Structure formats: structure tokens, C-alpha cells
Chains A and B, each alone.
Chain A
Amino acid sequence: MNKIFRIGSGILVVMSLFIMLCSGCRGGKKSEQEVIRVDMVDKTAILEDIEKAERVFQALPSPLESAMLIKSSGAGFDQKLLNPVSNANNYVTSKSMALNLGIYTCDLSYASLYEQTQLLIDYMEAAKKMADGLGILRAIEQKNIDELEQNINNSEVIMKIVSETFMNSNSYLEENDQPATASMVLLGGWIEGLYLSTKLVNMNNFDGNKLVSRIIDQKLSIDILLNLLSGSKGNPAIDELISEVTKLKIVFDKIRLDTSPVRPVYDEASEATILRSEVKTDMTPEVFSELAALASEIRNSFVK
């Protein structure tokens, strides 16, 4: 009896140590895959830096930030571009719900910035459906939707609710050891922002178009996105997405984006540091069309 107990305890200890070791290398913690970083600067030096870090965060623009970039460029609102809320019933896999949680959050952020009040409520409910389907507890509660309705003309409160509900989702996924799902949510939001931006560009006003500049800026995030996904490499859903995003990277690589060295200057008036630098960019209409077509193809595969 004692012998059986000792063997049982030993197995338990080994299993527990195994779980501890696994939890130490889970997504979000530094992992072999996360060390994959392709950038314009000295790769070896960056790899050395990453080796030193206990934890590496790859921060994509959030859906709210993506929507704000569209609004700040002066682009208009077009409801036809959004993923219809009626599609929410079609998403039954974790992958489709995660991607569309990001997509609906971007759509609701876009609607909120253009004061599309009823749409905002509808899209918050669609996002809630996705979060509930993923088992994300208390990410978006009925009280959040009620609060939205009560503050429908208060943009500051609306932005706060959108930001808070998104943080509830991604913190839940992070803390419940679901980095692959968290990455897919972020990818969904980012691709929707890119899709909306490319669709809203007026080709008659291509040169000097601020929205085009914002699209070029996304070249700076493509490696961050690939690194984020690589943290969950081996997951079949993620591997498929890496393949799709790699196609986008190939097109982004055709865009020129050269930045001069950054000079920090403290501005007394605003009590902020201004990071001064000049940038030279070049994207031909042909490359833009290629990028727009690919962004549409990927996004439409996510929402179908």
C-alpha cells in the first residue's frame, strides 16, 4: 500500500514539475518561436536582446487604435464595408469567433467614432456573442451595453467602454493561457482596419493621401504581427494564418519606407517629448491595388 502511495506521489511530483515547466514556456513568455524577428536593423543584436528578456510583448494596434487612424486621416464612414452582424450566427469554431471578435470590435470602434449610435449597439452585441462563444467570462456584459445606450451621445464614455471591454477579452485570454486565441483576436482587428482603410482610399486623390500614408505605416507592424503569431506556431489554425500574413508581408516589402535617425526633443509647452524624424515613403498605385486585393481576400475569408 505504502509502495503504491510512494509511486503515486512520485508520478504526481513529476507531472507537477512538467506542468510548471510547461507553464514557464507558454505563449506570451519568451519562447523559441518568439525569437523569430525579421527587421530592418541588425538581427543578431536584436536576437541577443530578446534572449535577455524574461518576457517579450508584441503589441499590435488595437481595433480602437486602427479605427482612430482611419478617422484621423479624414476618411468617411461607409456602413456597407462592415461585416454584417447577421453573420455572427455563422461563426462556430474558436478560430472564426476569435477573428471575428477582433473584426466586430474594429467595426464597432469605427462606428463609434462616426457617431453611428444604433450600429454601435448592434456591433457590441455581435462582439459579445463572439466573446461568449469563446467562453470569455464577463468580457462584455449586458451592463456594458446598457451603459452604452445610456451614454449614446457621450463619445468619451463610449470610447472608454469599447476600450475596457476589449481589454477584458484580451486579458482573460492572456491570463487563461490562450495566447493563440488572443493573437487571432488581434489579427482580426488589424486586418479589418487594413481592409477598411484600403476600401476607403479615393484613387482620384492617391498622391499625398493621408489614409495612404496610414496604410504604408502598417508595414511597421507586419513583423510584429508575424512574431505574435509565431509565438503559437504549431497550432494548425495559427500556421494557416502565418501563411496568409506572410503573403501580405511580401507585398508590404515592395513599399519603400525610410526613416532618418530619431531626435528626441522635449517640448516645454506640451510637457511631452517630440520624436523628430523625416520619412521617405513610396507606394505605387499598382502595389496599393495588390495590397488592397490581398487584404480583401484575407478579410473576406475570415468573415465568410
Chain B
Amino acid sequence: MRASKIIPVLVLLIIASTGFADAQCKAFAKSECLPKLSGYTHDGNYHAAVLMEGEEAELYKTFYSDMDYRVSIVGDEKLPSVEFRVLDADRNVLYTNKDKNYASTWDFKLQSSQQLKFIIKVTSSSNHSSGDAPASGCVAIMFGFKLN
């Protein structure tokens, strides 16, 4: 009887918390990711998701010649480092922030317009031996541009 009361409540709480976490990503993106585009005009697009340790997201976008770009990719402080790689249409890796101490921004410009692919991965922390659940939190991706 008691279990039959508790289970539905727990399930509904989980659903509610998932929606709440999503809604929190907008506030997180605005407060933590957007300021890192300082000096650039944010394009106005919004890309954010709740990811767990070890999970990946991908983003496809066309970038244009004659523009300077900055990408800002920021993860919630509960998460380990967020790694991102940038690939061209032939899947050649053009940049990885792993070599830059997981820097959250990258400035770039293009000689000719290209479609690029961003692979964003929340790294896994090594201290799960105690059985802790993997951390999850918002990861926001934003682009700024200016004419060069």
C-alpha cells in the first residue's frame, strides 16, 4: 500500500525535475556561457542540453568567410571538464580544446565558408569507485561573430 503510493510520486518528481533541469539550462547559458562572447555579437541561437559524464553532443553549423567567430562551450560546475573537437566535412580534426587545458572558448575565422561539426563530450571523472552516480548538468554552446 505504502509502496504503491510512493512509486507514482517518485516517478512524477523525476519527470518534474527533468523539465526543471532543462528550464535551468537557459538561465545557465545566459549567466555562464553568453558573457564569454564578450566583444562578439551573439547570433541569437540557443543550444543547451543536460548531459551526463561520458555523454556526447554534436552540432552542425555553416560558418562564413570574412567573419570572425568565437564559440563558447561551458558545462555546469558539477561536471568534469567539457572537451570539444571541431571537424571539417572530411572529418579531419581542426581543433581540440584538450590541448588547451579544456579552454571554454575558441576564436577562429575562415578563408572560405565551411560546414563544421562540433563534437562536445563531458569527460568522465575517475572517482566513481565508491559507487557515486555520474554527475549530470547543463552544457551550453553559443556562437558570436563580428565582421573582420
- Smallest CB–CB gap between B110 and chain A, Å? 5
Contacts of A20 in B (CB 8 A): 11, 14-15, 18
Fill in one digit per residue for A95-115: 1 if any B CB lies within 8 Å of its CB, else 0: 000000000000000000000
Q: How many A-B Cβ pairs are below 8 Å?
A: 190
**Cβ–Cβ contact B41 & A163, under 8 A:** yes
Most buried by A among B41, B46, B47, B57: B46
Closest to A165 in B: B44
| Shortest beta-carbon distance from B114 to chain A in Å | 6
Complex contact A220–B114 (CB within 8 A): yes
- By a CB distance below 8 angstroms, the chain B residues around A221 are 62, 115
Evaluate whether A72 and B67 lie within 8 angstroms (CB atoms) in the complex, with A17-B11, A171-B26 already known. yes
Contact between chains at A171 and B114 (CB < 8 Å): no
Measured CB to CB, the nearest residue on chain B to A39 is B89
| A13 and B8 contacting across the interface, CB-CB below 8 Å | yes
Q: What is the CA–CA distance of A64 and B143 in the complex, to the nearest angstrom?
A: 12
Interface residues of A in 69-90 (CB under 8 A from B): 69, 72
- A-side contacts of B141, CB under 8 Å: 57
Among B106, B108, B111, B141, find the residue whose CB has the most chain A CB atoms closer than 10 A: B111
The residues of A that contact B147 with a CB separation of less than 8 Å are 68, 72
Whether the pair A274, B108 counts as a contact (CB closer than 8 A) is yes
- Those of B25-64 within 8 Å (CB) of chain A: 25-26, 29-30, 41-49, 51-52, 55-62, 64
A54 and B49 in contact (CB under 8 A), knowing A9-B7, A272-B68, A275-B114? yes
Beta-carbon nearest neighbor of B1 in chain A = A2
Instruction: Give the Cβ gap from A181 to chain B, nearest Cβ, in Å.
Output: 14
Please tell me which stretch of A246-254, A259-267, A296-304 contacts chain B, meaning at least 4 of its Cβ atoms lie within 8 angstroms of it. A259-267
**Contact A69–B115 (Cβ < 8 Å):** no
Asked if residues B12 and A16 are in contact (CB atoms below 8 Å), the reply is yes
Cβ-defined partner of B109 (8 Å) among A72, A167, A214, A274: A274
CA A8 – CA B24 in complex, angstroms?
Answer: 32
B18 in contact with A59 (CB, 8 Å): no
Which of chain B's residues have a CB closer than 8 A to the CB of A72? 66-67, 147
Residue of B nearest to A73 (CB): B66
Q: Which of A162, A175, A218 contacts B25 (CB 8 A)?
A: A175
Is B84 an interface residue, CB under 8 A from the partner?
no
User: Are A163 and B44 in contact, with the CB atoms below 8 A?
Assistant: yes
**Residues of A with C-beta under 8 A to B106:** 273
Which of A45-53, A145-153, A233-241, A286-294 forms part of the interface with chain B?
A45-53
A65-B43 contact in complex given A72-B67, A261-B92, C-beta closer than 8 Å:
yes
CB distance from A218 to the nearest CB of B (A): 8
Does B90 interact with chain A (Cβ within 8 Å)? yes
Which listed residue, A54, A69, A273, touches B57 by the CB 8 Å rule? Answer: A54
Cβ of B62: which chain A residues have Cβ within 8 Å of it? Answer: 61, 217-218, 220-221, 224
Give Cα distance in the complex from A220 to B114, angstroms: 7
The complex places the Cα of A144 from the Cα of B54 at a distance, in Å, of: 40
Show 9 residue pairs from A and B whose CB-CB distance is below 8 angstroms, ordered by the A residue: A10-B4, A13-B11, A45-B91, A50-B58, A54-B52, A68-B145, A72-B147, A170-B45, A224-B61
Nearest 6 CB-CB pairs, A to B? A166-B44, A279-B112, A59-B61, A16-B11, A272-B107, A55-B57
A: which residues have CB within 8 A of B?
A: 2, 5-6, 9-10, 12-13, 16-17, 19-20, 23, 28, 39-42, 45, 49-50, 52-65, 68-69, 72, 159-160, 162-167, 170-172, 174-175, 214, 217-218, 220-221, 224, 227, 259, 261-262, 264, 270-279
